[in-house]
Structure 1
């Protein structure tokens, strides 16, 4: 307290000062005010944010004998860049009204971010500030995900039953004949349901005017923003809509607010000349019929008011969740923008880590959000020396060993190659986890946009005009295709000569060469520990010396299955002969799983 009073005495001598808003205040994020301006408005007109400067600066004051800590006030002054004004943030992005009351172990219901139409049984696995990591009951931790405590995607126990939504039970329980019962489940788990008062609730249920289930509209595909597609409203919760693309699978679904800029009425593309990706069938005739009806009850109203473009500007500062390592929030700068998105750059990091995010994303917050919610903030890369080391060192510049490329299952990593989310080998590698529900692995990142099996109309090529510039479209790399073809001709000659043959035709032949793989599948290998992987490598003919590399890199069964030939040769520095045997074994494991 003495420090605060001392600050009050010397504050008038400061040339300028900057304040941040207190909890819940809906004004500007930062206010630069000279004392001359303050005298003009009079002492009696003390601004409601002025007192906050004392507490904020107190938190940032250096303790005698220690290095001065990083703080936003000094940083904004050094960078000569503005903080993004608080008025630009949505309510759920801004400073929360209360604390996070969720505790580890509490049970709840919530949406699966990879399957937005599915409500699942969840458990709070970790709490940090106003955020928490949620775990799917019965599934590995690698599928865990982070949300804010006021997220609209989570609900109290019993919500699905009350609102007539289907709740997916924990893994293993869906096969039982009895219906899932929360009371029995909580009793068997000896767990507590999260109290209802912890969840965000609207004061009155909101039904967006003009919307109804089954309505047709035209919507942007968020996974490929260049596509405008035919869509249907398949669910409504409060003021949010579930958008489903006709003839596409549910993995492309997403929730949005009624005024979202991503949805438009039927006929919008025709009026604006925007290419429309349509499902197979008589869509053109349906469109003409729909537009001829006034009004059409099955179409989104043309006079509906949509939210205008955001007000964020390039060079504004904010705090953003690191999508490669969601446990972390970093100091960030907006380096680009369009009408509905902003491009995030983490200060001090290479531009290769930049990414686009919706301007209304719950992972974007105003300056000071971490400090007010009790969440750790990762300072800019160049400021590390001022605040000291954080956690285990990692060879990747700026990485302190926190997080893991394989998700929350591993809290830290100590190797550059396969553990670090920021290493070169992992930078452009897409999520290689099996789908939690179907068990399918994602398509290679170099492939074309995934299409519904019954339609070829949802591909980018479906609306290319003659003479269009094809350089920007994601066609397969011919060199990569050639490399894969050569690999097949060397390792699986029967496949190269006849692509319709399956690998099981030469299984017996491969097992004679590598008897160690006989009877093993990828599902079994994925559960191996590091030592079990090492033991397997030692048993492969001529690979005993290479086993130590897998121990040094801490490669377990799951990581082992992710290796490709280039990883083994170039990253692990294993000679071609042993590398071919190791990679061929991986291929056989995966083939045994498929068969």
Structure 2
């Protein structure tokens, strides 16, 4: 298998050596404690632990050591089996993040007191006393520029200053049941460390708000969906005649400037993602699953990925730099299960979470 893949130029010739290096690399280690957004109540975070690690890919589970039993809930993925994700996932945060940003923290008294101490130290300009297994801000991708190896705090502050409460834009919802549409979104609040409180326009905008970092690839300028042929979901019952300019005027809001968002790469940069190219991709609705997949369309800086054996309705949108997309052979290299493409008889049985 390995020999065939190397000849197909899907893996480096020294992939065995790379495999050994990659297996031990990664910012997060087993036992690392962090904060995890509650998928069933996005106004809350809960302390969680890394229970497995494969390079950058980690499995995170709500920590029974830090959360009272009555608050564990019945989310089997977050509290029992754990959720697999890349270490740059939007929904994980440093210890103390929730308390510092006014987000509800569901945890026991001991953990809450620990977060109070961290928040107090930061407010006084002192270095917080983290526990050895705590995930600190320094190990998150938004804090440090990986390629340049330099702190991006100055850039984050510049971006933060340009964002304003009430600005409107389009957003890929990481808690949605489909990853094939963008949503009309609003910046509700400017948080600390470059984070934004983002609400999806509609009756539940405040209660279902999600924190995004200002550098998130899930954020897009207005008109992006229309320009690249993506469905836009929003506050109107019929979005077919939705007009951004009229809506912004009606809401007395403003459009977030284009330069706050990641740029669409040039056609030359996107050439490697040819239509029909094969790869392995995470199912973003059930992130423990990695499936054989095909590039079906290029929509600006988003790739429409088709899961082989599934209907087109199950396609998902990924940023072209997404760490949830893998070259052929990734699962074999890491010893991770690669799902078998489904047949027509099983399609109707699948239920999205």
In the alignment, does 2:68 pair up with 1:112? Answer: no
Cα-to-partner distance string for 1:110-148 (whole Å, 9 max, x where unaligned): 333454453321123444453222223442451412222
CA pair 165-147 structure 1, distance change in 2 beyond 3 A: farther
Q: Contact (CA 8 Å) 2:279, 2:327: kept in 1 or not?
A: yes
Matched, 1:181 2:113: yes
The aligned residue for residue 305 of structure 2 is 343
Q: How many residues align?
A: 285
Distance 1:358 1:262, change over 3 A: same
Instruction: Please list, as runs of the form range in 1=range in 2, the aligned pairs for 1:349-360 lying within 5 A after superposition.
Output: 349-351=309-311, 354-360=314-320
RMSD between superposed Cα atoms in Å: 4.9
Q: Distance in 2 between matches of 1:228 and 1:153?
A: 18
- Equivalent-residue separation in structure 2 for 1:159 and 1:261 (angstroms): 20
Give the distance between the partners of 2:194 and 2:188, measured in 1 at CA.
13
CA distance in 1, matches of 2:297, 2:58: 29
Structure 1 Cα separation of the partners of residues 256 and 50 of structure 2 = 38
Kindly indicate whether residue 164 of structure 2 is the aligned counterpart of residue 204 of structure 1: no
Using a 3 Å threshold, how does the CA distance of structure 1 residues 426 and 255 change in structure 2: closer, same or farther?
Answer: farther
Change (3 A) 1:378 1:160: same
C-alpha separation in 2, matches of 1:97 and 1:58:
10
Match of 1:248 in 2: 203
Which deviations, in whole Å up to 9, do the C-alpha atoms of 1:418-446 show, x marking residues without a partner? xxxx955631x343xxxxxxxxxxxxxxx
- The question of 1:300 aligning with 2:256 is answered yes
CA distance in 1, matches of 2:249, 2:234: 13
Unaligned runs of 5+ in 2: 117-130, 145-150, 237-244
Alpha carbons of structure 1 residues 255 and 155: separation in structure 2 relative to 1, 3 Å:
closer
Measure, in 1, the Cα distance between the counterparts of 2:233 and 2:283. Answer: 33
Sort the Cα spacing of 1:113 and 1:362 in 2 relative to 1 into closer, same or farther, 3 A: farther
Q: Which residue of 2 aligns with 1:287?
A: 249
Q: Report the TM-score, using the length of structure 2 for normalisation.
A: 0.59
- Do 2:296 and 2:303's aligned partners in 1 also have CA atoms closer than 8 Å? no
CA distance in structure 2 between the partners assigned to 1:247 and 1:168 by the alignment: 25
Show the counterpart of 1:479.
none
Counterpart-to-counterpart distance in 1, 2:352 and 2:221: 30
CA distance in 2, matches of 1:226, 1:326: 18
Query: Match of 2:295?
Result: 334
Q: Does the CA-based 8 Å contact 1:331-1:378 persist in structure 2?
A: yes
**How far apart, in 2, do the equivalents of 1:240 and 1:97 lie?**
30
Distance in structure 2 (CA, Å) of the matches to 1:125 and 1:151: 16
> Cα distance, 1:244 vs. partner?
1.0
Counterpart position of 2:336: 376
Q: Is the 8 A contact 1:241 1:258 kept in 2?
A: no
Deviation, structure 1 residue 55: 4.7
Larger Rg: 1
1:317–1:334 CA contact under 8 A, matched in 2: yes
| Bigger helix fraction | 1
Q: Does structure 1 residue 363 correspond to structure 2 residue 314?
A: no
1:426 and 1:166, CA in 2 relative to 1: closer, same or farther beyond 3 A? same
Structure 1 contact 148–362 (Cα < 8 Å) conserved: yes
- 5 Å matches for 1:310-325? 311=270, 312-323=273-284, 325=286
Contact kept in structure 1, 2:165 and 2:187, CA below 8 Å: yes
Asked whether the 8 Å contact 1:129–1:375 carries over to 2, the reply is no
Q: Which has the higher contact order (CA 8 A, sep 6+)?
A: 2
CA contact (8 A) 2:289 2:339 kept: no
Offset, 1:364: 1.8
Matched, 1:156 2:91: no
- Which of 92, 103, 110 does residue 166 from structure 1 map onto? 103
Gaps of 5+ in 1: 1-6, 8-15, 22-51, 60-94, 185-190, 291-295, 382-395, 399-421, 432-595
Q: Name the one with the larger strand percent.
A: 2
Q: Which residue of 2 aligns with 1:98?
A: 25
Report the Cα distance in structure 2 between the residues aligned to 1:317 and 1:133, rounded to whole angstroms: 25
Q: 1:259 to 1:307 in 2, by over 3 A?
A: farther
Q: Which whole-Å CA distance do the structure 2 matches of 1:317 and 1:114 have between them?
A: 33
Q: For the Cα contact (< 8 Å) 1:234–1:244, is it kept in 2?
A: no
Kept in 1: contact 2:34–2:95 (CA 8 A): yes
Post-superposition offset of 1:363? 2.0
Would the alpha carbon gap of residues 234 and 246 (structure 1) be closer, same or farther in structure 2, given more than 3 Å must change? farther
Distance 1:154 1:258, change over 3 A: closer
TM-score by length of 1: 0.38
Match of 1:426 among 346, 349, 353: 349
CA–CA distance in structure 1, aligned partners of residues 249 and 202 of structure 2: 17
